[in-house]
Structure 1
């Protein structure tokens, strides 16, 4: 069962409400039941620090932590695509999305290190909107062909849509230039990837 988790700082909650990251937000894929009570945060918010390009705000740090957590959860899905479908279009899209996400993950981790944020993931074990659960990943591993493509499309669309929403909120409320620049890239690339996804056969584009 998915559990929507409140953002780690009050400022982030205010900044990312439109992104659906606060407790009780609906699941973008439309597949999750109502959320249970949010568990306590597993790590305290980092104290913002300065970098050569300016200070990090709590919103910057929280967005980076969410981005890392979401990216780490979607990469195993993309890794399954070559074995789950023989369609070259699906394989090509998965490879492109994976390459972009790994590059974003490297940048996000580097920025978190610069910010002085704890190395631990405060969202470890949380199933938030846009994240693939362990059960859903197991279902993907047992599927092939058209059923596999439909599942990947549903999970990837939910992930990309949520990532774009969160990146938009960071662009509006973030303070650190390199972090808001990363958010702009995530929003731009995610929007383009959603468009490519909707053009694939079997993607079951929602009405």
Structure 2
């Protein structure tokens, strides 16, 4: 006795089954889009959401919180040098640079307030590159003559190099246009200030 061959269902009969399966998959996936900890009818905009258009970023905050104490501490050493019995070219340069740093510090603190950050030295006690520390200021007070002048040149050069470096980085990688513009101006100023300092060493 011959075995009967089972003829496969025509393709036209399989299409409705495929469409039904696809519909069920889409329906079930759509029902699962609501997070389990949020009610289905809750307002999704009620909580804070990150935005690429935020005015300030963590990079901006890190830069401003580093630059503010750097400028303040260096300004104190420059003010000391401007009234110290230093070589006239160094004293004159320190006086002009101290004035620039006071203007810069006012701009940094204004931006700090706009960012809602406290005007405190979050790096106090840290041995940060380019930072004139309280210990450095105490040492400068005990130095005289050429030793004092050499120490000021050394510390201010390190300050100008490091603050210029981090400001250039902020001008490229920061999020706030306001902060990036200020950082670019500071970086350009640092390059000019380093040239002037180098001319004093000649």
Same fold per TM (> 0.5)?
yes
- Any unmatched runs of 5+ in structure 2? 1-47
Aligned to 1:195: 195
- Partners of 2:56 and 2:125 lie apart in 1 by 26
- Partners of 1:114 and 1:65 lie apart in 2 by 13
Aligned to 2:121: 121
Structure 1 or 2: larger helix share? 2
Superposed displacement of residue 103, structure 1: 1.1
Residue 177 to residue 146, structure 1, CA distance change in 2 (3 Å): same
- Partners of 2:83 and 2:102 lie apart in 1 by 20
Deviations 1:165-189 (A, max 9, x none): 0011101101111111111111111
Superposed displacement of residue 101, structure 1: 1.1
Superposed displacement of residue 123, structure 1: 1.7
Aligned to 1:112: 112
Residue 134 to residue 121, structure 1, CA distance change in 2 (3 Å): closer
Q: How many pairs are equivalent?
A: 153
Mapped contact 2:164–2:187 kept (Cα < 8 A): yes
Please provide the CA RMSD for this pair.
2.3
State the SS of the aligned residue for 1:125. Answer: coil
Mapped contact 2:72–2:101 kept (Cα < 8 A): no
Asked which structure has the greater CA Rg, the reply is 2
- TM-score, normalization: structure 2? 0.69
Aligned to 2:92: 92
Superposed displacement of residue 191, structure 1: 0.7
Aligned to 1:74: 74
- TM-score, normalization: structure 1? 0.67
- Partners of 2:134 and 2:66 lie apart in 1 by 18
- Any unmatched runs of 5+ in structure 1? 1-46
- Matched ranges for 1:154-165 at <5 A: 154-165=154-165
